[in-house]
Amino acid sequence: MVILLFGPPGCGKGTQAARIARRFDIPAISTGEMLRAACSAGEQQGEACALVAGGGLVDDDLVNVMVERRIARPDCRNGFLLDGFPRTLPQAEFLQDLIERRDLVGPTVIHLDVPAEALIARLASRRQCPRCGQIYSQPGTCDTDGTDLAPRADDRPTVAERRLRAYREMTGPLIEYYRGDGYHRIDGDRPPEAVFQQIESLLEARLVRVHVARSR
């Protein structure tokens, strides 16, 4: 099962991605997290890291190669969830080609919809543990290692605005690309549990349909 999680920054994608991954036993792959980790480990070029920190999109080829390598790993054999990829049409076409080459079933797109005003407020209060990277919805200390939480650099209001703008620009063409059977728009402005329940039941229904189609 290939799941693509779409939604603006601050819509709760990370939380839902982790829950879906646990429930369906597939890895959740966030290109943003991979890029941030590579930048803080000094493994990524300064130019790409400046784009990540500033809320711009990094080069398609760079992210495509990163995703291709990641999904070639054995834990992706039965499927995977992508959070933050694809973000452009060339990335979507590249992914489609990868899916066909690996003989995987076409993606299920979960699009979490949250109004802009709610997003700005969520991003302003969002915090991250500088040590383990865990995201929290408010200030405090990390539940895992007790470290003081800090705002994520790209959640600062000006950068957050730029990320939201970039998201709005990319959404239209991508939704056109995926519109159809596997595309689901979900109201993300609800408690995470309610959002997850809706996602879980639509993915369960999809699994059954795919199973029936493949066994014919």
By CB under 6 A, name the binding residues for ligand AMP. Answer: 9, 30-32, 35, 51-52, 55-58, 63, 84-85, 87, 91, 154, 163
Please state the closest distance from residue 83 (CB atom) to ligand AMP, in A. 7
Active site residue 13: yes
Nearer to ligand AMP, 174 or 194 (CB): 174
Nearer to ligand AMP, 16 or 31 (CB): 31
Q: Which of 36, 122, 126, 127 is catalytic?
A: 126
Residue whose C-beta lies closest to ligand AMP: 32
Provide the 10 A C-beta neighbour count for residue 40.
Answer: 12
Please state the closest distance from residue 110 (CB atom) to ligand AMP, in A. 15
CB 196 within 8 A of CB 16: yes
Active site residue 163: yes
Sign for the pseudo-dihedral over CA of 92, 93, 94, 96: positive
CB 113 within 8 A of CB 186: yes
Active site residue 165: no
Nearer to ligand AMP, 27 or 56 (CB): 56
Active site residue 87: yes
Please state the closest distance from residue 208 (CB atom) to ligand AMP, in A. 30
Active site residue 77: no
Give SS3 for 83.
strand
Q: How far is CA 59 from the centre of its chain?
A: 17
72: closest CA among 34, 43, 37, 99?
99
Q: How far is CA 49 from the centre of its chain?
A: 18
The edge-to-edge listing of strands for the beta sheet with 2-6 is 28-30, 80-83, 2-6, 108-113, 183-187
Please state the closest distance from residue 195 (CB atom) to ligand AMP, in A. 18
Nearer to ligand AMP, 126 or 163 (CB): 163
Q: Which residues are catalytic?
A: 13, 87, 126, 152, 163
